[in-house]
Structure 1
Amino acid sequence: MAEVTTAVIVDDHPAIIAGVESWCAAADPAVRIADSGSTPAVAWTGAGLGADVVVFDLMLSGPTPAYGDLRRLVDAGRQVVVYTMREDRDTILTCLDIGAFAHLAKTEGPAHLVAAIRAAHGHQPYTAPAMARAICADTRPERPRPTPREVDVLVNWFACESKEMVARKLNLSVRTVNSYIDRVRIRYANAGRPAPTKAALVARAIQDGLVRLEDL
């Protein structure tokens, strides 16, 4: 049997919670909602603490985005899918920079949300339409800019089982492959967007348009 994905919903609109619960229950396979509530506390206690994914409304009881609460969840190692009415470029990019797994607009519907929850649990990248538009429009100077050779090594590493395979394919030494990958990690760390694992680096690369899913 496939492993069940669990999620906790942080949202101060009961109708949104009911809708997300309904979508997750109707999915095949279903996503089990461990708990839900109107404040981030629900993700830190009881069943919500053990949930695989946090579905997080950025605008909780006020006009100011809850970036601080998002950062605390991310810093604790939680996989967070931001699910909000805000779909402007700056908000999306800020959430991604903080370390949210994905950003979805509430107008994007159940198919994207359920898919993003499953992807977050499986540490597989997922890019919804509003998020893709924001990434493509990102022209900030601090955005990491790997060299073409670094991107080439990344793409091959993402698609291969080991760095040894990449080295053989590209006629490089394993040390050189490691050097390229480490340089990209340093670029992301310097930009305040650390990617310490392979899964995190895949997500960052797709978020920034360095690679496409079909390249993997």
Structure 2
Amino acid sequence: MNPTLSAAPVRGDTGGAVVRLAILDDHEVLLDTLSTWIGQHAPDFDVVLGAANWLQLVQSPAFPTDLVFIDLQLKEPISIEARVRTCRAAGAKVIVLSSLDTREARDRAFAAGASEFLSKSLPMTAVMAAARRVMGIDAADEAGAEREATAPLQQLKPKLSPGEEEAFKLYVSGYSTIAVAERMNVQYETAKTYLRRVREKYAKVGRPAGKKAELIRRAAEDGYLE
């Protein structure tokens, strides 16, 4: 996702200023999915910057933003303390998102100045409700926030390629991997790779799909079962 910079605060449905949000996460699938979900369901937030690494975040002309979502476990040697403190010094509030929800991780994030520490297993409605609290937004006074808050809890749906989606649908419909390859007219290893990527993309958004039963459940949840 290419960073963008608004020249002036964007106005929301209720006339209030929209919160400029940055997301730092080195899982590009999750980064894209989070940005898409927020764009569709949280009109009081605008994702103006999506970064897959630390330098991409801090060197962007869109930085600092009002709020930054930071993944705790980045694959770079920059501590969570350094990341949080830099954002806070620049004037941005920070929410740390993590699949590693331990007391030590929470203590480190809060000690550095994070406003909130949230597990990636939470539904996005809960994540955005916390973001509103951090930014001092009263959901009861925000029409857009009310619409999102009263919607059913939604889970993040990974973006699949056409090949991955077709292999996924065939596999959860009862076809073996060999039969999937035959139906798609591709090599067995290609069909196997499609299904592996589907599992990986679901895992990255916190929805396990390692077992076939889990994969079928994900397909049912996301409307892939016919």
CA RMSD of aligned residues (A): 2.3
Letter in 2 for 1:2: G
Relative to total residues, which structure has the larger helix share, 1 or 2? 1
The aligned counterpart of 1:84 is: 98
* Identical-pair percentage: 22
Aligned to 1:32, what secondary structure does the other structure show?
Answer: strand
1:69-108 to 2 correspondence within 5 Å? 69-108=83-122
* TM-score normalised to structure 1 length: 0.51
Of 33-42 and 65-74, more deviation after overlay is shown by 65-74
Q: Residue 80 of structure 2 aligns with which residue?
A: 66
Pairwise CA distance, 1:90: 1.3
| Partner residue in 2 for 1:51 | 65
Letter in 2 for 1:77: G
Larger Rg: 2
Does residue 23 of structure 2 align to residue 23 of structure 1? no
Q: Provide closer, same or farther for how the CA distance between residues 95 and 28 of structure 1 changes in structure 2, counting only shifts above 3 A.
A: closer
Alpha-carbon distance between aligned partners in 2 of 1:50 and 1:74, rounded to the nearest angstrom: 9
1:71 Cα offset (Å): 2.3
Deviation at 1:47, TM superposition (A): 4.4
* Equivalent residue, structure 2, for 1:39: 53
Following superposition, the deviation at residue 30 of structure 1 comes to: 4.2
Inter-CA distance 98–28: structure 2 relative to 1 (3 Å threshold): closer
- Paired with 2:127 and 2:44, the residues of 1 have a C-alpha distance of 13
- Cα displacement string for residues 77-114 of structure 1 (whole angstroms, at most 9, x for unaligned residues): 32001011110111112211111010111111201221
SS at match of 1:51: coil
**Corresponding position of 1:122:** 136
Which of residues 10, 27, 33 is equivalent to 1:13?
A: 27
Change (3 A) 1:62 1:47: closer
State whether residues 85 and 113 of structure 2, in contact with CA within 8 Å, keep that contact through their aligned partners in structure 1: yes
Specify the alignment match of 2:125 in structure 1. Answer: 111
CA contact (8 A) 2:94 2:116 kept: yes
SS of equivalent residue, structure 1 residue 48: coil
How many pairs does the alignment contain?
124
Could you list the per-position Cα deviations for residues 17-69 of structure 1 after superposition, in whole angstroms to 9, with x for gaps in the alignment? 11211221122434211011112223323343142111101111159853322
Cα deviation code 1:126-150 (max 9, x no counterpart): xxxxxxxxxxxxxxxxxxxxxxxxx
Match for 1:72: what amino acid?
T
Match of 1:4 among 18, 26, 39: 18
SS of corresponding position for 2:129: helix
Unaligned runs of 5+ in 2: 1-14, 139-226
Cα deviation 1:132-177 (Å, max 9, x = unaligned): xxxxxxxxxxxxxxxxxxxxxxxxxxxxxxxxxxxxxxxxxxxxxx
Q: Is the 8 A contact 2:80 2:108 kept in 1?
A: no
Q: Which runs of 5+ in 1 are unaligned?
A: 125-216
Cα distance change of structure 1 residues 69 and 89 upon mapping to structure 2, 3 Å threshold: same
Q: Distance in 2 between matches of 1:76 and 1:51?
A: 9
The alpha-carbon distance between structure 1 residues 51 and 107, as it changes in their structure 2 partners (threshold 3 A), is same
Change (3 A) 1:31 1:10: same
Check whether the contact 2:64–2:91 (CA below 8 A) recurs between aligned residues: no
